Amino acid sequence: MWKEIFFRNGYLAAVGITLGGLGCAFALTARYQVAGGVLPPGALMVSLGIATLGALAIMVIFALSRRQAKDAFCAIVDLCRDEGGEMDPAHIRARFGGGEWRDILTEIAERISSLHERTLLTEQQQVASEMRIQRIVQELELNRVLVDAMPDAILVTDSYGKIESANPAACKLFGLSPEAIREDGRTIVEAIQLAEVRDVLLEDLRHKRTAERVRELKIGEDPQNSKTLRVLTRKIGEGPRQFLVAVIRDMTDLQQLRQRHAEFVSAVSHEMKTPLAGIRAYVELLVDGDAEDEETREEFLETIQCQADRLQRLIDNLLNLARIEAGVIKVKKEPRALNEILDDAFRIVAPQGEAKQITMHKELSSLYLPVLGDRDLLLQAAINLLSNAVKYTPNGGEVTLRSRVVGDAVVFEVEDTGVGLSEEDCKRVFERFYRVKKDSQMASGTGLGLPLAKHIVEDVHGGTLSVKSELGKGSVFVATIPMVNQHEPVAAD
């Protein structure tokens, strides 16, 4: 406190002394000039001395005040340089004592400390915001990757029909490019050429309802090239930021699978009903006593046995195919002579060919053809190929069974002079339940014989089964199986 009094009142006293001394000097000078007398030198010197002392006092006080101001400035600089942004008030009091400077520096210290706290809080908030932004960016990138990887076409448009986004599946379906969507800003009308889909999307844009809608659209009139699309639409957002999201799934394969399943059930039912009807009819004849002699009874029983065998083969095909696909079938692989298996298959199918006046040829290699295989399964595959050839060869045609060695494999093939297959049928003839429509009335079947043969040759025995065909001229089914060395040890399955 004394410093404040000293500096404040000291300045006033020194100024007063200086002004007083100067005033006395001027007063004395004026008085003696008016009186016409001579000013005593001593009086003038005293007045000037008083003024000089006052000026010196002013200079001393000014120097002292500047020194304290400098100390205060250095303290402020130290305060600003302090990492914590704080200064202990006790330190301020020890350095400056009390008074105005202490209060000023204390207030400065408090404000800097407050600013430092707010700065730390702002930095923490900024770090948290950056982390949230990074997490949002990662989620958006993950969502984009997921949407791009989806097989369904996903299309997003604004309320005016402008395409905002389309995943690769949508671009492929509608023939778009991501660059064109971003740069050109195409609308539904400009970009989507499929009229059925375009009309559905435009209709949903016009309606205000936001509920989810699902529709199935058939695209094209040709059954061979038509498509079935499932279109799911929903509006999200409100006002000018409302968008229409469309998810379009190609249901063509599923529809075809459903149709093939329906055809399979129908074919299996027919295949089962035919032998069962024959068995039932002949059993009724036997029960009614219509077979009066032994020869007739033998004929009836033989027919019943034949129909029962047919039914058994159908059931075996179904079960074997299901077991192979499920991987639960018991396979007993042993070194086998392929020609022996083929000879048995030929002998079983030959009566079917003879019933249609088909000439059956057997051209088996004279060499020993060893394979590591399951006899029953290989026999089943050969019977299925031969039966298929007999079914689709007209009366009077020819069916040939051959075998030979090709490199490190053995090959057997079944050639016929039947109706043949188109290029498209050759690609699909090994599909489950698939039957050539143009030939479906020619012979009954389930569409399982060839798929089962392919599974046996390829999945069980590590070979290949292929077909070469020409419409109206016939087909050749070629099975290739690795040949086994009799002297090599055989690993058990």
The per-residue pLDDT for range 451-476, each reduced to its tens digit, is: 888 988 998 889 999 999 888 888 99
Does residue 105 belong to any structural domain of this protein?
no
The separation between the first and the last C-alpha atoms of the chain, rounded to the nearest angstrom, is: 107
CATH of the domain at 161: 3.30.450.20
Q: Is there a single domain that holds both residue 391 and residue 463? A: yes
Position 489 scores a pLDDT of: 45
Where residue 410 falls among pLDDT bands split at 50, 70, 90?
very high
Q: Is there a single domain that holds both residue 341 and residue 478? A: yes
Domain end among 282, 305, 322 = 322
Position 386 scores a pLDDT of: 92
Instruction: Decide: 72 and 104 in contact? Cβ < 8 Å.
Output: yes
Task: Write the CA distances from 177 to 211, 289, 336, 376, integer angstroms.
Answer: 30, 79, 58, 55
Q: Is there a single domain that holds both residue 314 and residue 370? A: no
Block residue for tokens 């990662």: 138
Q: Is there a single domain that holds both residue 63 and residue 157? A: no
Q: Is there a single domain that holds both residue 242 and residue 261? A: no
Does residue 355 belong to any structural domain of this protein?
yes
- Residue 437 pLDDT more than 50? yes
Strand-pair category, 334-337 with 227-236: unpaired
- For the chain, the average pLDDT equals 76
Q: Give the tens place of pLDDT for each residue, 331-384.
A: 788 898 999 999 999 988 888 888 888 899 999 988 889 999 888 889 989 998
Where residue 27 falls among pLDDT bands split at 50, 70, 90?
low
Q: Is there a single domain that holds both residue 334 and residue 478? A: yes
Does residue 389 belong to any structural domain of this protein?
yes
Distance CA 138, CA 144 (A): 10
Q: Is there a single domain that holds both residue 430 and residue 366? A: yes
The domain total for the chain is 4
Which of the listed ranges 31-35, 319-323, 350-354, 432-436 does the model predict with the highest average pLDDT? 350-354
Position 476 scores a pLDDT of: 93
Distance CA 196, CA 193 (A): 9
Domain end among 272, 287, 322 = 322
Q: Is there a single domain that holds both residue 47 and residue 9? A: yes
Where residue 85 falls among pLDDT bands split at 50, 70, 90?
very low
Does residue 359 belong to any structural domain of this protein?
yes
Q: Is there a single domain that holds both residue 243 and residue 261? A: no
Mean pLDDT for the stretch of residues 399-407? 91
Closest CA relative to residue 405, chosen from 460, 472, 338: 338
Instruction: Decide: 159 and 240 in contact? Cβ < 8 Å.
Output: yes
CA angle 48, 53, 55 (to 5 degrees): 95
Position 84 scores a pLDDT of: 46
Q: Is there a single domain that holds both residue 337 and residue 435? A: yes
Does residue 243 belong to any structural domain of this protein?
yes
Q: Is there a single domain that holds both residue 366 and residue 241? A: no
Domain end among 200, 221, 250 = 250
Q: How many CA atoms lie within 13 A of 190 on its CB side?
A: 12
Q: Is there a single domain that holds both residue 343 and residue 435? A: yes
Position 414 scores a pLDDT of: 93
Instruction: Decide: 453 and 384 in contact? Cβ < 8 Å.
Output: yes
Enclosing domain of residue 211: 150-250
User: What is the Cα Rg of the chain in Å?
Assistant: 54
Does residue 290 belong to any structural domain of this protein?
yes
Position 1 scores a pLDDT of: 47
Does residue 236 belong to any structural domain of this protein?
yes
- Residue 322 pLDDT more than 50? yes
Phi, psi of 476 (to 5 degrees): -130, 115
